[in-house]
Structure 1
């Protein structure tokens, strides 16, 4: 496979391709974010990386690259539940519209994998995408999946499109958009360290009803004070924090605002038990009219943000992944929040590439 990685970010698709084991070469990666490009170049120094606006690329240029596969994770802001949901009218959707206009002219293109936020599946842009696939002679599958369905203790519900030329067969049938992979399909995939770890010491994740490994497997020995929740956060947001312990089998989706905003951006960690957390919060609740006293009590829990390394472990980046020294923690969280779950996408690449009609 000769692969073009669009919206390449920090290289999640590239790592997923490596994890899949499929024989492939990323002939070019394209992104316009300078910080993301610094991280990508740091980890993939031998890959051609273009710092460009995707709308500046034409079909002739892509034809010269002779790619047969496009991997992409376009901006999700036009479709996210927290955004304005301007959909195809959002300026950030223009680059995807441009790509759709190029696809009819890419004669060697065989495979397409697209990832986006939950909500994309009900958008006008999704309809344009599907129209492009059908009119250009591609068969496709649509899925909405989360890492916790694969034994990973993190919820990150995402839309995926797998498409291939009509003359290439899919290994599984699908009547419509599906919210999970069948157990038979999951069993057909190679065992991974994630599934092995989940079977070895996992617990039921209540959101997915699947067994996931616990968070003690992703924790690092980190300087406690560096990531502690500030007192002002505790004062204003202590009651809406999603608190997890080392024995938790799940965590919330980490977004680009993690570490800067406390609510709705991801889980936080506590080194004590769920029972200790419950008792401390109960004690703090007895001082409703004294916020300073509440903060004093809750500070004993040593609540902290998950470190960037812990977040990228939950997103299944390999241990040799690294950030350049000049990238700040806030930039790391932002870049990770815009990235993909490497393991989930690696499994989908295998399904896209497989043509054995046995499921």
Structure 2
């Protein structure tokens, strides 16, 4: 069977990459996103896919039926359910489009399969309850997950909520659990090291600025043999705490010795900064972050997209590998 897919909140096409990587038979019939910059990146990588720059709330049941799609892949705005979004839940205006989609479901009888991704915290929200209740009302089997790429052999943390749903009219051998599943049975016993994705001869523009080096004591520093890194957010390179890891070619012992000597000075002093500069701490490049998020090797950002825009888009994107594995379960 060849599936016809509607990709909503398509962003830079992480869901599209996951579909391509799944080996499943089907086609993205339409991608929809309102972000012009994200759409430029999407078009660069998927020039043959119909892409619509529009608000989700402009999609009518009649229009979706005309597309003759049977699958929806989507990653609605996560800010209403995150710390930075102040957990405003259904009162946040950014939930409006997803709440609209929930009301549409009862009119979309041809939609057999749905995969939805969101931030951790969504599972505790009112909007989640509305969504799950609607899935039940519309006769879907569903399963919720909280999964991290590190469980799939990737040296990166990006814990996210996922929900896959399938109409009860189609046979599904997946054994559903009431609780949120936090791991999948797999063969990923070992995590790859960062040296497998680190680029050579990275330009100096990626070095951490003197201003941010004053915060070196709270940075998450990674090494070539590290099998972990922190989740990258859209504020990466602008703030230090909680936005992602930094990298050094130095050894852990060299970093420890350097920090010990640097901390004999006030962290705001030039002496502290000059000492830390010896480590040549740098940010991960956009291409390295793409690799950590398991985008395919031929994926690229167009030349007109700035480095800052790359990080913002990546911070809002998805881990391709995790979604690929969930698609296999959804369509097994």
Number of the residue aligned with 1:300: 278
Q: In the alignment, what sits opposite 1:117?
A: 119
1:205-244 equivalence runs, <5 A: 211-235=190-214, 237-244=215-222
Matches of 1:289 and 1:93 in 2, distance apart?
Answer: 42
Displacement of 1:182 in angstroms is 4.1
2:175 to 173, 176, 190: 173
Q: Matched residues in 2 for 1:17 and 1:289: separation?
A: 47
In structure 2, the partner of 1:9 is 11
Please tell me whether the aligned partners of residues 75 and 118 of structure 2 are also in contact (alpha carbons under 8 angstroms): yes
Q: How many angstroms apart in 2 are the aligned matches of 1:131 and 1:56? A: 24
1:246 aligns with 2:224: yes
Q: Aligned with 1:261: secondary structure?
A: coil
| Distance apart, 1:291 and its partner CA | 1.8
What secondary structure does 2:299 align onto? coil
Offset at residue 48 of structure 1 (A): 0.4
Tell me the SS of whatever aligns to 2:321.
Answer: helix
Shift of 1:71: 0.2
1:77 aligns with: 79
RMSD, matched Cα: 1.2
Matching residue within 299, 304, 312 for 1:326? 304
Distance 2:83 2:45 in 1: 32
Report how many residues are paired. Answer: 330
**Alignment equivalent of 1:346, drawn from 313, 324, 327:** 324
Decide which moves more: 81-90 or 174-183.
174-183
CA positional deviation for 1:94: 0.4
- Distance across 2 between alignment mates of 1:99 and 1:313: 32
Unmatched tracts of structure 1, length 5 or more = 188-194, 196-209, 355-359
Structure 2 segments unaligned to the other structure (5+ residues) = none
Aligned equivalents of 2:256, 2:174: Cα separation in 1 = 46
The 3-state SS of whatever aligns with 1:142 is strand
Q: CA deviation at 1:174?
A: 3.2
The answer on whether the counterparts of 1:170 and 1:351 sit within 8 Å (CA) in structure 2 is no
Aligned partners of 2:124 and 2:171: how far apart in 1?
Answer: 26
In structure 2, do the counterparts of structure 1 residues 182 and 336 end up closer, same or farther at CA, with 3 Å as the change threshold? Answer: closer
Paired with 1:64 and 1:71, the residues of 2 have a C-alpha distance of 17
SS at the partner of 1:334? helix
Deviation per residue, 1:23-56 (Å, 9 max, x gap)? 0110000000000000001110110000000011
Displacement of 1:179 = 4.2
Query: What SS does structure 2 have at the residue aligned with 1:211?
Result: coil
SS of the residue corresponding to residue 212 of structure 1 reads: coil
Cα distance in 2 for partners of 1:160, 1:264 equals 22
* SS at 2:81 equivalent: coil
Q: Give the TM-score, by structure 1 length.
A: 0.90
Partner-residue secondary structure (3-state), 1:41 = helix
What CA distance in whole angstroms lies between the structure 1 residues aligned with 2:22 and 2:120?
A: 24
Contact 1:67 1:109 in 2 (8 A): yes
8 A Cα contact 2:6 2:30, kept in partner = yes
Picking from 31, 45, 55, the partner of 1:43 is: 45
Alpha-carbon distance in 2 for matches of 1:71, 1:289 = 47
Ranges of 4+ aligned residues in structure 1 off by more than 6 Å: none
User: Following the alignment from structure 1 to structure 2, what is the Cα–Cα distance between the partners of residues 224 and 276?
Assistant: 22
Matching of residues 190-201 of structure 1 within 5 Å: 195=188
Shift of 1:290: 6.5
2:236 alignment counterpart: 258
Contact 2:142/2:176, CA 8 A, preserved across alignment: no
Query: CA–CA distance in 2 between the matches of 1:351 and 1:109?
Result: 17
| 1:261 Cα deviation after fit | 1.5
Moved more, 220-229 or 309-318: 220-229
